[in-house]
Amino acid sequence: MHGFPAFGRRLKRLRRSVGVKQSALAHVMQVDQATVSRWESGAQTPSPNTQQQVFSALGPARCDDSALKRLVVNSADCLHLVEEASHKCLAYSSSRARDWKTSQSALLGVSLWQFATEEIQSAEAELDQEGWWDLHTPSPKSFLTSEAEHDRIRISAGQIIWERLYLSDGTPVRLVSGRRGNAA
């Protein structure tokens, strides 16, 4: 399992968006508030497993947001929706399922970060330098990725566009769209 680039800034964006204080998160994670502060400042980076636990701890009160999910699921476009901090898959369209060569429910609740191509990992790392985590509504990010084949998913080469949206409870999510091939 890989850790997330800019974990601290990612955590701070999520924690503030869902209205959880550092001390409350520290209590749940059985650490002190100073540890959470060090995580957010980047002075200390927890293990990838602990990063997943932190994101899980911030997510259980989540609303269903069925209308947004329905829009993604029923879209004719190749789309998927993930929690921005953890990359946990919330919904994807039937055309995305075909592109991934999987059913339309097989990857729900699964962090897609484990399947990221080198280009996706690089684009994710660039978000911190671009100020993505400091902005409430950053501009969409567009880049090209190569094809990748995994045991559970296939990623097509082509353009990817990331756009931040928010669930009704304030959780930042990422709408991911794209085109196959070298479309710009």
Express each pLDDT in 128-179 by its tens digit: 999 999 999 999 999 999 999 999 999 999 999 999 999 888 889 999 998 7
Q: What's the confidence (pLDDT) of residue 61? A: 54
Domain that holds residue 94: 66-180
**Cα torsion through 79, 84, 88, 94, rounded to 10:** -10
Q: Could you give the number of structural domains in the chain?
A: 2
Q: Which of 128, 139, 137, 136 is nearest to 161 (CA)?
A: 139
User: What's the whole-model pTM score?
Assistant: 0.76
d(CA 53, CA 176): 24
Please indicate, yes or no, whether residues 72 and 140 belong to a single structural domain of this protein: yes
Express each pLDDT in 15-68 by its tens digit: 988 888 999 999 999 999 999 999 999 999 999 999 989 988 887 555 668 889
132 domain-assigned: yes
Cα dihedral 171, 126, 39, 12 sign: negative
1 domain-assigned: no
2 domain-assigned: no
Please indicate, yes or no, whether residues 87 and 53 belong to a single structural domain of this protein: no
Confidence of residue 82 (pLDDT cuts 50, 70, 90): very high
CATH number at residue 101: 3.30.450.20
Please indicate, yes or no, whether residues 80 and 167 belong to a single structural domain of this protein: yes
Please indicate, yes or no, whether residues 142 and 111 belong to a single structural domain of this protein: yes
CATH number at residue 29: 1.10.260.40
Please indicate, yes or no, whether residues 71 and 42 belong to a single structural domain of this protein: no
Cα dihedral 31, 36, 42, 47 sign: positive
Q: What's the confidence (pLDDT) of residue 184? A: 39
